[in-house]
Structure 1
């Protein structure tokens, strides 16, 4: 069943999706929450300020199909494509934010369900630009669920926080022990070409990965508040302009083997990098710090490619096509 703008059986109704309890985070870090205010432009909840996207994928026959779909602008998607020459059964979907950037008072929520045996690649149409804010802040909730034997990649493009922006993002993953979730996140210190380096007010994010029983497997909080807490701590931004992370949550191969593959892929890049096993042995992760986007993007491609070759036996495709 393909649904657009309609109620899904067993899911939230259209009215529920537009209730603040659905799109507002249950908790926002104090560094962002303290800027809460009613904008003198469009307030929170106004048309165009709340983006909701729900996607459900299932393995049907020889390939993965989009079987459930709800979208509310400014969030929408392209139809799934099957252009990876090595994985013709994988559904590639691009998430589009029609507003062109994230503004004060924006609230986005994305829910993705990847059924048993399904293979999905999700990305965005371009960089996420978080614009200057005078009142309030912006948030995004991303919930990813991966069923038994599924393979889900969520690799959005770079996030660029403009000067005086305030932003909070929470990515929650629920992964079956037999599923694989590859999650990427890349952030610039600002519009570097314009001299905006850590000129944003607050950039905070949380990544939490849970098992199907709800138990927490690991969490990775990021708190960047330049004027108060600085951004030079270990594993954060230090003096670099670009921060990128790749998380490979899997039980398909031993965690140390995955970490070794990521570490080997980063050898010789000349960048500040590291790779290690995730807590509980549920996979591995890598972090990359560099001065410019091209060098970090190349290193990111190398670790993604290494993960794909190890887990799927195929190379990573060109991200501009994916």
Structure 2
């Protein structure tokens, strides 16, 4: 994890993977349809604002394969918070896909953003898939960004760049779960992907970079199922919480570390008093989701005073 005062490079999905060393060998264009072609250059912009006693999805712009339907208010404990699942009309992330997501939560507003299902990164024989995410949280805003797991298929290549711009009075919960692959589909699917690259950068309201975390996984070159990396575990969970210092101390006090042969997790402070980072490892996604939900409950209760509702059966 790095800290500096330099602004990150501008988010440009079309050029993101072209200069990445980890993708240097995967620049060839797909013969079926070139990268970023119509239907492969997705864009989604969501803006949430506070209107009276509740928040609303005030602006939405989309381009296939990304889309959303109307905001719903399914959270019974926070019925004023719009809940929006991101939908992909292509089903999987495919070679040559270039996806851009922008989420903005205005001052005093709140939102819950998730996905319709797991993000499946399809097997590739040419090129790669790239994604940029730009998240903004204004003064006193509250955002839960809680997508379902990412499942990289064998021979897939994926690069993602996320920038979170936040006011120091806001709370942002950013979650990601990475599977080892479709390990029950084929023996070569477990850590069978070629490249998984993810960078997350946070900047406060002054434009100062609080931290940058970059993860580059190339399991065929550097095995992941070794001591000090994933060991015997198959699923990795990562939750970044950006929130005021007073909340950080309370959350940390309620979040003890845990270790067993089947599950381990712990919480650390982020640099520059930006927030906290929660990491969890397990052999199955259910255990990881359960651990993340416990931490999520602590964060929500501490920052808003509200508890989580009973989970949907298909989200357990």
Q: Is the 8 A contact 1:122 1:156 kept in 2?
A: yes
Give the TM-score, by structure 1 length: 0.88
Q: Please, which runs of 5 or more residues in structure 1 have no aligned partner?
A: 1-20
CA separation in 2, counterparts of 1:66 and 1:38?
Answer: 37
Q: Does the Cα contact within 8 Å between 1:255 and 1:278 map onto a contact in 2?
A: no
SS in structure 1 at match of 2:256: helix
Q: 1:161 to 1:286 in 2, by over 3 A?
A: same
- 1:302 maps onto 2:294 in alignment: yes
* 1:284 shift after superposition: 1.0
On the 8 A contact 2:16/2:130 being kept in 1, the answer is: no
What is the CA distance between 1:98 and its match in structure 2?
Answer: 0.8
Change (3 A) 1:59 1:50: same
* Residue from 151, 157, 180 that aligns with 1:160: 151
- SS of aligned partner of 1:286: strand
In the alignment, does 2:80 pair up with 1:102?
no
Aligned to 2:4: none
SS of the equivalent of 2:294 reads helix
Residue of structure 1 in register with 2:232 after alignment: 239
Residues 1:278 and 2:270 aligned together: yes
C-alpha distance after superposition, 1:51-108 (max 9, x if no partner): 1001111101111111111001100002111121111111100100110001100000
Please say if residues 262 and 283 of structure 2, whose CA atoms lie closer than 8 Å, have aligned partners that are also in contact: no
Q: Separation in 2 of the partners of 1:70 and 1:301?
A: 30
How much has 1:263 moved relative to structure 2? Answer: 2.6
How many matched pairs?
301
Structure 2 spans left out of the alignment, 5+ residues:
1-10
Say whether the 8 Å CA contact 1:256–1:277 is kept in structure 2.
Answer: no
Aligned to 1:47: 38
Q: 1:53 to 1:212 in 2, by over 3 A?
A: same
Displacement of 1:22: 4.9
| Residues 258 and 283 in structure 1, CA contact (< 8 A), matched pair in contact too | no
Question: 1:240, CA displacement in angstroms?
Answer: 1.0
> What is the deviation of 1:213?
2.2
User: Structure with the greater relative contact order (CA < 8 A, sep ≥ 6): 1 or 2?
Assistant: 2
How far the C-alpha of 1:270 sits from its partner, in A, is 5.6
Aligned to 1:312: 304
Question: Alpha-carbon deviation of 1:113?
Answer: 0.8
Contact preservation (8 Å) 2:245, 2:273 = no
Q: Compute the displacement of 1:236 (Å).
A: 4.3
Q: Answer yes or no: is the 8 Å Cα contact 1:269–1:299 preserved in 2.
A: no
SS at match of 1:275: strand
CA distance in 1 between counterparts of 2:274 and 2:249 reads 10
Aligned partners of 1:134, 1:310: CA distance in 2, in Å? 47
Q: Measure the CA separation in 2 of the matches of 1:273 and 1:145.
A: 28
CA distance in 1, matches of 2:72, 2:194: 38
